[in-house]
Chains A and B, each alone.
Chain A
């Protein structure tokens, strides 16, 4: 299984809602990532988890709250978002071991629209 699965594929939420994006992989990877991608722009790194611990937070606003409950799962909790947070949210994983060469395995993304 070489897939990274993201749910939901599409999400529409109001600015007062609380929702979560989910990501799952069963490749035994120990590093997991959240990226945000706006239209016609490259993906921007948001968070990196290594061995279930938050390793990188790229100064992301606190209305985005990541969680890594175990080595296979990665969540992104969303609260009080703004319309400008509408984007494609991509989850990725990598081996995260000494043999990690930087090859990222991406999910298909969750398209978020904030009204």
Chain B
């Protein structure tokens, strides 16, 4: 199973772009990369998912280099409400179900 490594914490000022990088050196060919956001005492919430290159949705962008051994979640113009823990997970694509395990996550603190 691919293991992920992320920075434990990051600080950013409001209005800035935040980039959180995740390392997943032993990602499998059929694995997808998925990012989740979690607020205290709530369930994780899906942000974005990708397989290769770049994916963009209304809240974030995900950049995946050709070797897929890392990925970068980009949050444009963060606000105080983006203060949360962000998890990078790899898995999926093998059908049926997924033994999806969480890494330590990155605690993002947005400062006014």
Task: Report the Cα distance A50→B7, complex, angstroms.
Answer: 33
Contact of B89 among A48, A55, A102 (CB under 8 A): A102
Whether A114 is near chain B, meaning CB under 8 Å from some CB there, is no
Which of chain B's residues have a CB closer than 8 A to the CB of A55? 96-97
Whether B44 is near chain A, meaning CB under 8 Å from some CB there, is yes
Which of chain A's residues have a CB closer than 8 A to the CB of B34? 101-104
Q: What is the chain B residue whose CB lies nearest that of A49? A: B97
Whether A79 is near chain B, meaning CB under 8 Å from some CB there, is no
Contact stretch, chosen from B15-23, B64-72, B102-110? B102-110
Which of chain A's residues have a CB closer than 8 A to the CB of B41? 88, 109, 111
Within 8 A of B (CB), among A41-70: 42-45, 48-51, 55-56
Task: Report the Cα distance A44→B102, complex, angstroms.
Answer: 7
Whether A94 is near chain B, meaning CB under 8 Å from some CB there, is yes
Give, as a whole number of angstroms, the nearest-CB distance from A107 to chain B: 5
Task: Report the Cα distance A37→B31, complex, angstroms.
Answer: 24
Knowing A42-B103, A101-B49, A101-B92 are in contact, say whether A107-B43 is a contact too (CB < 8 A): yes
Whether B80 is near chain A, meaning CB under 8 Å from some CB there, is no
B102–A100 touching, CB < 8 Å? no
Q: What is the chain A residue whose CB lies nearest that of B102? A: A42
Residue with the highest number of chain B CB atoms closer than 10 Å, among A42, A108, A109:
A42
B93–A106 touching, CB < 8 Å? no
Which of chain A's residues have a CB closer than 8 A to the CB of B43? 4, 90, 92, 106-109
Task: Report the Cα distance A103→B35, complex, angstroms.
Answer: 9
Q: List 29 A-B contacts (CB under 8 A).
A: A35-B102, A42-B87, A42-B102, A42-B104, A42-B105, A50-B97, A51-B96, A55-B96, A55-B97, A56-B97, A56-B99, A90-B44, A92-B43, A94-B97, A96-B97, A97-B95, A100-B93, A100-B96, A101-B34, A101-B93, A102-B32, A102-B90, A102-B91, A103-B34, A103-B46, A103-B92, A106-B43, A106-B44, A109-B43
